[in-house]
Amino acid sequence: MKKFFLILLLFLPFKVFGYSTSAKSAILMDMDSGRVIYGKDVHYVQSVASISKIMTAIIAIENGDIDKEVVIGKEVLKAYGSGIYVQIGEKMKLKDLLYGLMLRSGNDAALAISVNVAGNVDSFVKMMNEKAKEIGMKNTTFNNPSGLDEEKGNFSSAYDMALLMSYAMKNEEFRKIVGTKDYSLKTNKNVYKWHNKNKLLSSYKYTTGGKTGFTKIAKRTLVTSASKDDMNLTVVTINDGDDFNDHKNLYEEAFSEYNSYTLLNKGEVRIIGENYYTDDELYLKNDFKYLLRENEEDILKLKYEVNKMRKYKSGDKVGVVKVYLGDKFIGEENIYVKKGNKKKSFWDKFMELFK
């Protein structure tokens, strides 16, 4: 099997911006491509407090019936710290508990969610760690669904938490919950009115979600997300006494410096010099988007690798296009084939008359 190679080069100028925070560790990441725009000790492992509840929420959404009514059990008696103060025997939907978890950081809600989704807290924590491994969180260990760290806390890094937020924000229900400013609820025992602790939802118009956290060990932790002009970013700060201002400033710098570009378009792809699949259509299944500085100096390279398959059928992968920013590999998309589906130009048809 032989391969065909083609490299396309684009030249873009470069400019330096002065990103900074007062955090122990921090990261500003593009949620779509994973590009790290700013980082400070991004892999430093430490207690992360209640931003752990991002994982608690996405596990519950993916594995539970959020519209199912649940009855609060004795597990909530073990809760301490921040809570929504539910009572034993109280009835509400799992979805209501999720709002209490993410808007008010209810540790009692975290325990009730765990029991109702997995049967017990230990089984739920196992699901949290399995999901962390699945999405590439290499420096993360969860020991509870709340983030409390007086006994066994949850340990992670700014980078891993940005990966988690990027993953969770792809879920429509999660986005709806964390983007809600206020939520009201009436149960058989109480009436609740919750206001989101994420102040950026009210003070910064591009904010789309997030989660606050604090313990004496972890100090202030914060994960937020913001979107503007087809750019979807997340910021994570750990041990930051000025976190809300730091997040806003990082977003403002990134939105002014970067633009979102579609480097590859899904659908038919025409590769200069490719003459093996002349009667077939080569195509991509996905767009490839990436944030680039307006005047980036690095060289953007698209490298096409096409395998000359002797036997193939429609839908088979026959190659890959790799994307590089300078010498750094930043992503790839598979190339697929549709047999006998080549869209011929007028010139192709004209030349066939002389064959």
Nearest to 282 by CA among 265, 267, 272: 267
- Can you tell me which residue has the tokens 């130009």? 345
| Residue 117, CA atoms < 13 Å, CB-side half-sphere | 32
Contact call for residues 233 and 200 (beta carbons, < 8 A): no
Q: Where are the alpha helices (DSSP H) in the chain?
A: 53-63, 94-104, 107-118, 121-134, 158-168, 172-178, 200-203, 243-257, 346-352
Map 311-327 to HEC letters: CCCCCCEEEEEEEEECC
Contact call for residues 48 and 218 (beta carbons, < 8 A): yes
Catalytic residue among 105, 156, 166, 225: 105
Please indicate whether residue 105 is annotated as part of the active site: yes
Contact call for residues 107 and 82 (beta carbons, < 8 A): yes
Residue 91 to residue 234: CA distance in whole angstroms? 35
Please indicate whether residue 53 is annotated as part of the active site: yes
Torsion angles phi and psi, residue 185, rounded to 5 = -155, 140
Catalytic residue among 24, 40, 53, 248: 53
Catalytic residue among 33, 47, 50, 114: 50
State the catalytic residues: 50, 53, 105
